[in-house]
Amino acid sequence: MDSALVERLEAEMAYEATRTAPPPGFPALADLPLTRYTDERFYELERDHLWSRAWLFAVHASELPEPGDYRLIDIVGAPLLVVRGDDGEIRAFFNSCRHRGAPVVRQDAGNARLLTCQYHSWTYDLAGNLVQVPDECDFVGLCREDRGLVPVRCEAWGDFVFVNRDPDAITLLEWLAPIPDELPELVQQPWRCIGRTESIIACNWKVTAEAFLEVYHLRTIHPKTVNKLLDHKASTMGLLANGHTRMVTKLRDAVIEQGGISLGLPTSPEMGEIFRTTNTAYGLFPNLIAPIDVVGFPMLVFWPIDIRTTRLELVWLACDWGDGERPAAWDALLAGFTAVMEEDERNMAPIQRSIEAAAHGGVPLNYQERRIQHFHAWIDRHIGVERIPEELRVPDTLADLVER
Ligand code: FES
Ligand SMILES: [Fe+2]
């Protein structure tokens, strides 16, 4: 992050902390229709035009350090296999055997020299080529070259590996713009994945995502946790191109004096001062939020299972500590974050039930919630506004505020 941007963000946080109204000219935001969370037509539009065409975070390369290391991921109904080949490349395939469609790999993660289907033992190499077929002579006219695992686009920004089911999609770096240019230090630091957890929440995926796009709720949902660390008024938000967002929130002075939240853990030499004195969170459209800290951070990834069920995945990255066991302070840090997540998650299923009852008519958003408006407007842009029934649309009211 260059010094001009850091200076601007510092000035914006100071302004935000003392302002008494939204900046002059900030528009009134139309209510979000509740049906965006409940109408099957909207869910199908998201599935067909957003999830099937978006770059979606799959793995951090540190999760697959050796050739043959693999992980299964499920991207909204598409079961994928991500595997590191003998050449060191990470590739993605549908985890669907080219014989009768059985899953080739069944364990969530592991290491294999060859990928052998459990059903009839068709066997693929790590580059997806079909290399063995039992009783091959009984398949008349079978051509092995035509029956390799079906590849899915897989590209990386540093060690952050994403997949996209659309063969005609723009490149990952184009999709992520302007974040790779703004945040080159993030991929210069060799983060190390220290684990994944997931929870299943009874709400639409957008209800889950929205809880991490604002800090308006800190005093009420997190009075004894996050609110003690962050000053929600001293928060500046950037609406970025391609639906991405940034939220930089000042740590309270007493927390900065104690050295932030580092608990004495190793900190990244790559990440500058702003990551020590603020919580700097990026929202990578559509479904990844990363509240970055110098010791490490969770990546929160939101996956719809169905219209009213979300899988929330946490992928934890830590600053490398060298040899030996993970430093014990990480246990305290993870426990603290789990408590915060429980505070957030407790709210989500009840919100979905109110939305389904349509009890409150629509969702009015305030200035502090402007990232949510931007997020919805970009969902509509990806779907194609003309495909969306009028009563389900969200106007792109904040387009002029997007940073250029
Ligand atoms: S379905 Fe995989 S070998 Fe038959
Ligand atoms: Fe929260």
**Distances 139 to 31, 136, 204, 231 between C-alpha atoms, Å:** 60, 6, 46, 67
Ligand 1 pocket, CB under 6 A: 97, 99-100, 102, 117, 119-122
Q: Considering the domain 3-53+183-401 in this protein, what is its CATH number?
A: 3.90.380.10
Cβ neighbours, 10 Å, residue 130: 22
Q: Could you check whether the bond before residue 266 is cis, i.e. omega within 30 degrees of 0?
A: no
What is the 103 CA–ligand 1 centroid distance (Å)? 8
Q: Which ligand is nearest to the CA of 103?
A: 1
**Topology classification of domain 56-164:** Rieske Iron-sulfur Protein (2.102.10)
Question: Of all protein residues, whose CA lies closest to atom 1 belonging to ligand 1?
Answer: 100
pLDDT per residue of the chain (404 residues) written in tens, 0 to 9 = 999 999 999 999 999 999 999 999 999 999 999 999 999 999 999 999 999 999 999 999 999 999 999 999 999 989 999 999 999 999 999 999 999 999 999 999 999 999 999 999 999 999 999 999 999 999 999 999 999 999 999 999 999 999 999 999 999 999 999 999 999 999 999 999 999 999 999 999 999 999 999 999 999 999 999 999 999 999 999 999 999 999 999 999 999 998 888 888 999 999 999 999 999 999 999 999 999 999 999 999 999 999 999 999 999 999 999 899 999 999 999 999 999 999 999 999 999 999 999 988 899 999 999 999 999 999 999 999 999 999 999 999 999 999 99
Distance CA 66, CA 261 (A): 32
Tell me, in angstroms, the distance from the centre of ligand 2 to residue 206's CA. Answer: 14
Residue nearest to atom 4 of ligand 1 (CA): 120
Domain ranges of the chain: 3-53+183-401, 56-164
CA 390 / ligand 2 centre spacing (Å): 31
Nearest Cα residue to atom 3 of ligand 1: 120
Distance CA(401)–CA(391), nearest Å, equals 24
pTM for this predicted structure? 0.97
